[in-house]
Amino acid sequence: MAGNEAFLRDRGKRCGLACKAGLLLLAMSTTGCSMLAQGENVQGVRLYQQGNFQAALQSFQRALQNDPNNADAYYNLAATYHRMATLHGQQSDYDQAESFYNQCLDHAPDHQPCYRGLAVLLVEQQRAEEAFRLLEGWADRSPARPEPKIELARLFEEFGDKKAAKAHLIEAVAIDPQNARALAALGRIREELGEYDQALADYQRSLQHDRFQPEVAQRLAALQAARRPYASPVGPAGTGGTRTVNTNPATLR
């Protein structure tokens, strides 16, 4: 595993951190928070998107003042410090990010974006084994949830272990057969492994459960076109996914 750390560290910067702006948007639609905290989270996300990180941090801190149990505010603080650390290389920013990620998990033990962000941070800090332990511990504590399996699959894939990634995604789909994200990721892994017929079926099932996935629809169409001379065309189940929407980059890398 240690021999692949540089590979994951580089891809983590391109993929995991590139997803953070999209992940921050999740705070906008979270329910159960006070209205004042919700408003501050929304304002902080806008400021983050504008690159005004210090002002964003102030908004997220005000969200916590209004609602000290607001896990999304802790996550937003963590992700903002994480982004600043990536840009400027300050260890103090990494330390702040890690602290807020952990506080987020203290308040929301199944906060998926927080687990993802913290795992990326640990790998960037050359602590890959801790990242695996973090996600494996989550999977052990929440065996009835597909999300830990999905995140473990992502991490194994980043290390180049596609067979382990596939196994975790199969487990995620067994837990939640309608999980469009797990199906899409499983389809992509199977396509990369040359399991084209199964990949087509996974893409179709993913689009049946969430047709607003342009990337998945494109992969399905491309794979259908590539396979058409060799096999019967797959049915039109995925054709409804051609609309464009503001997708979360984490859905399909």
Contact 208, 176 (CB under 8 A): no
At residue 13, the pLDDT reads 38
Mean pLDDT across 7-31: 40
| Residue spans per domain, the chain | 1-141, 149-253
Q: How many other C-beta atoms lie within 10 A of the C-beta of residue 94?
A: 18
pLDDT by residue (tens digit) across 181-210?
A: 999 999 999 999 999 999 999 999 999 999
**Tokens encoding 126:** 């050359």
Tell me, what DSSP letter sits at residue 236? G
Chain-centroid distance, C-alpha 88: 23
CATH of 149-253, one of 1.10.260.40, 3.90.1170.50, 1.25.40.10, 1.10.10.10: 1.25.40.10
pLDDT by residue (tens digit) across 60-90?
A: 999 999 999 999 999 999 999 999 999 999 9
3-state secondary structure 138-191: HHHHCCCCCHHHHHHHHHHHHCCCHHHHHHHHHHHHHHCCCCHHHHHHHHHHHH
Closest CA to 166 of 198, 189, 192: 189
The amino acid occupying position 105 is L
At residue 231, the pLDDT reads 53
Residue 111 has pLDDT above 50, yes or no: yes
pLDDT by residue (tens digit) across 44-55?
A: 999 999 999 999
Could you give the count of Cα atoms lying within 13 Å of 170 in the half-sphere of its Cβ?
10
Q: Which CATH class is domain 1-141?
A: mainly alpha
* Domains 1-141 and 149-253 equal at CATH topology level: yes
pLDDT by residue (tens digit) across 126-163?
A: 999 999 999 999 999 999 999 999 999 999 999 999 99
Cα separations (Å) of 48 from 42, 52, 81, 166? Answer: 10, 6, 11, 34
φ/ψ of 19, rounded to 5, equals -80, -10
At residue 35, the pLDDT reads 85
